[in-house]
Amino acid sequence: MKERLLGSLKVFYLALHLIVMVFPLYWIVITSLKPQKDIFSFPLKYWPTHLTFDNYVNVFKISKFHIYIGNSLLVSIISATIVIAIATLSAYVLARYRFRGHQQIMLAFFLTQMLPGFISLAPLYLLMSNLHLIDTRISLVLLYTVGLIPFSTIILRGFFQRIPVSLEEAAMIDGCSRVMALIRIIIPVMLPGIASTFIFAFVQNWNELFLAVMFIDSEALKTLPVAMNSFVLKFDVDWGSMSAGTVLSILPSIVLFAFAQRFIVQGLTQGAEKG
């Protein structure tokens, strides 16, 4: 009886937690499908009386939404790819070798995760200005890449430490160089960790607003979060268009997570076992 009661309480708690987590997403979706008059109606309508896609049409009419999506995809994919390429190599070195300054490098990586990003805004802006990279996609790619390399290296180092060194040694006995052993043996085993880290980097870049606002001015170069911010008007908020834009902006992340769910779960579980 006691076990059944505990089981019922656990199910109730999980169901309540699910409702609390899902309801905001549900509200955004139905708001995007409501006419403007229903959005501000009272009492609240938890299901739209008349479904409409006008808000989705307005998103593309009043803004260059397809350009913003393209900019975000381009910057996020390029940056996440570079991050994985650099972090994989640096994590391998930090996991397999012990050298002077090893602990200091790891400490520096951890410290970068503790410091707020805005304290480096002024020197970064001066640097990009001197390089004539203000208001370019290259500036965002560089900033996103540099910002994510320390954390990605820390995560991937945990995956490398979990893989036995004997795998590389066996491959090297069979004639592989260390580089070939890494490419042919270790990286295939590391795919869950690499995939989960790539998705993390992509989502971070996709949702980033602060740096994109500061370093991008041209309408044709704005990313999706910056475009979403434009729906907040001086004296009003276009809730219908903002909700429609929000739904469209989270679709790529949902699709990415759906296709890579197995890698994410496996990768995060493995990475947490040894750090």
- Count of structural domains within the chain: 2
Beta bridge partners of 232: 237
140 domain-assigned: yes
Range 57-83 average pLDDT? 89
Is residue 22 in some structural domain? yes
Residue 57 domain flag: no
Q: What is the mean pLDDT of residues 68-73?
A: 92
Q: What is the pLDDT of residue 158?
A: 86
In the block, residue with structure tokens 């491959």:
171
Same domain, 122 and 251: yes
pLDDT tens, position by position, 130-154: 999 999 999 999 999 999 999 999 9
- In terms of domains, do 142 and 202 share one? yes
Domain span at residue 214 reads 63-273
Task: Identify whether 58 is part of a domain.
Answer: no
Q: What three-state secondary structure class fits 217?
A: coil
Spatial contact of 247 and 28, defined as CB atoms under 8 Å apart? yes
Whether 275 shows a pLDDT value over 70: the answer reads: no
* 116/24 Cα distance (integer angstroms): 28
> Which tokens hold the place of 24?
């905001």
Query: Could you tell me if 46 and 83 lie in one domain?
Result: no
Do 42 and 78 lie in a common domain? no
Assess whether 47 and 88 both reside in one domain. no
Place of tokens 């997570």: 257
Residue-wise pLDDT tens digits, 13-63: 888 888 888 888 888 888 888 887 778 777 777 777 778 888 888 888 777
Residue 90 in contact with residue 155, Cβ under 8 Å?
no
One domain for residues 1 and 106: no
Q: Is 237 helix (H, G, I), strand (E, B) or coil?
A: strand
Do 35 and 116 lie in one domain? The reply is no
Between helices 187-207 and 137-162, what is the axis angle to 10°?
140
Dihedral sign computed on CA atoms, order 155, 158, 163, 168: positive
Same domain, 136 and 240: yes
**Which residues share a beta bridge with 237?**
232
Q: What pLDDT digit, counting tens, does each position of 166-202 carry?
A: 888 888 888 888 888 888 888 888 888 888 889 889 9
